[in-house]
């Protein structure tokens, strides 16, 4: 185990690599006490939890943020099918076991939210509580996901459909990873997102690129140049394929999880979203269904004037909500 020295805000964070079915998972951890596993989304890394690690540690928890399979210092299997949901659930279980624990609370943001939700659903023996950020829980069901996404957007193409073809999004992103990330982060942040009525950055014009609709020239307030360097440096080193392969498994997940069709998550749960985040607003019906789908829900919070990157845009509020919710479980 080694102690990180940069950036300064993470100097007390320790790093380790544990073995999993994919080979290895990188874990950044801080604190001692009950284990809280933190799962990031796209396109990020463990670093998206840099504000939560010290806050959770100060509150008496052992906070552990992973690089999801395909990201950062974790393994990147070659097969697309290696990024299916059930494999990621097993990675999370492997981390808990490797850290010497029997159970953990799990918290996820963006893609990390359904990964956390399915971890709690598939392995309730391991994951005793689940926190969901930005993406609400919606039980498996309905038509095949690719069919749903293909119908969205009319003449335009929904970004998840755009990501399906191996190499297509990589060809857009990898020549200028830093610029692409800066644009995406700005597009979904409250203070830099396109104004109402502007072309939606979640869609691609036929023959166009996602970045054609990203704002340029200003970083969101939560993202410093140094922060952007951390994110960009990881993807410049690893490439984007591992991260994008998560999207390429959505139909496979739909098949794998058929036995959980319509299943509720009964563990104690928490939801935090942003009022300006399409992930929250498009899934308003999922929020309304929480009494049925999340019967253990302690509280649901939609932060006014907040975009997609909730734990970075509103770190103090999110830290307070997370630590308060976790304390209520003990």
Catalytic residues: 110, 308
Residues facing residue 63 across a β-bridge: 30, 36
N residues, the chain: 330
| 68-90 residues labelled b (16+ CB within 10 A) or e (exposed) | bbbbbbbbbbeebebbbbebbbb
Can you spell out the DSSP letters for 82-125? GGSHHHHHHHHHHHHHHTT-S-EEEEEETTHHHHHHHHHHH-TT
- Backbone φ, ψ for residue 309 (5° rounding): -90, 60
Whether 90 and 118 have beta carbons less than 8 Å apart is answered as no
Give the DSSP H or E segment for 36.
Answer: strand 35-39
Whether 250 and 80 have beta carbons less than 8 Å apart is answered as no
Of 72, 112, 80, the C-alpha closest to 233 is 72
User: Strand pairing of 127-133 and 104-109?
Assistant: parallel
Give the DSSP H or E segment for 179.
Answer: helix 177-187
Whether 28 and 53 have beta carbons less than 8 Å apart is answered as yes
Of 79, 9, 93, 8, the C-alpha closest to 49 is 9
DSSP state of 325: H
Based on the number of CB atoms within 10 Å of its own CB, is 309 exposed (0-12), middle (13-18) or buried (19 or more)? buried
The separation between the first and the last C-alpha atoms of the chain, rounded to the nearest angstrom, is 29
């Amino acid at each position: 185990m080694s102690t990180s020295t940069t950036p300064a805000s993470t100097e007390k964070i320790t790093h380790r690599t544990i073995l999993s079915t994919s080979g290895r998972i990188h874990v950044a951890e801080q604190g001692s006490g009950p284990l809280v596993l933190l799962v990031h989304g796209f396109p990020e890394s463990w670093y998206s939890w840099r504000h939560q690690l010290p806050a959770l540690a100060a509150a008496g928890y052992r906070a552990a943020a992973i690089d999801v399979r395909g990201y950062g210092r974790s393994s990147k299997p070659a097969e697309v099918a290696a990024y299916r949901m059930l494999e990621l659930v097993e990675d999370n279980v492997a981390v808990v076991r490797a850290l010497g624990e029997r159970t953990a609370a799990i918290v996820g943001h963006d893609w990390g939210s359904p990964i956390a939700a399915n971890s709690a659903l598939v392995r309730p023996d391991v994951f005793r509580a689940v926190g969901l950020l930005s993406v609400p829980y919606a039980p498996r069901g309905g038509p095949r996901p690719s069919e749903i996404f293909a119908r969205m957007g009319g003449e335009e193409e929904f970004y998840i459909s755009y990501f399906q073809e191996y190499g297509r999004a990589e060809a857009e992103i990898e020549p200028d990873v830093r610029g692409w990330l800066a644009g995406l982060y700005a597009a979904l942040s409250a203070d830099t997102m396109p104004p109402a009525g502007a072309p939606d950055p979640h869609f691609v014009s036929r023959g166009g690129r996602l970045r054609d609709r990203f704002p340029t020239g200003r970083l969101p307030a939560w993202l410093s140049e140094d922060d952007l360097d951390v994110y960009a440096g990881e993807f410049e080193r690893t490439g984007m394929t591992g991260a994008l392969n998560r999207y390429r498994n959505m139909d496979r997940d739909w098949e794998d999880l058929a036995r959980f069709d319509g299943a509720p998550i009964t563990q104690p749960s928490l939801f935090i979203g942003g009022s300006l985040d399409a992930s929250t607003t498009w899934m308003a019906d999922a929020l309304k269904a929480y009494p049925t789908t999340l019967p253990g829900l302690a509280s649901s919070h939609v932060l006014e004037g907040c975009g997609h990157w909730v734990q970075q845009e509103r770190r103090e509020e999110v830290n307070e909500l997370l630590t308060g919710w976790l304390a209520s479980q003990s």
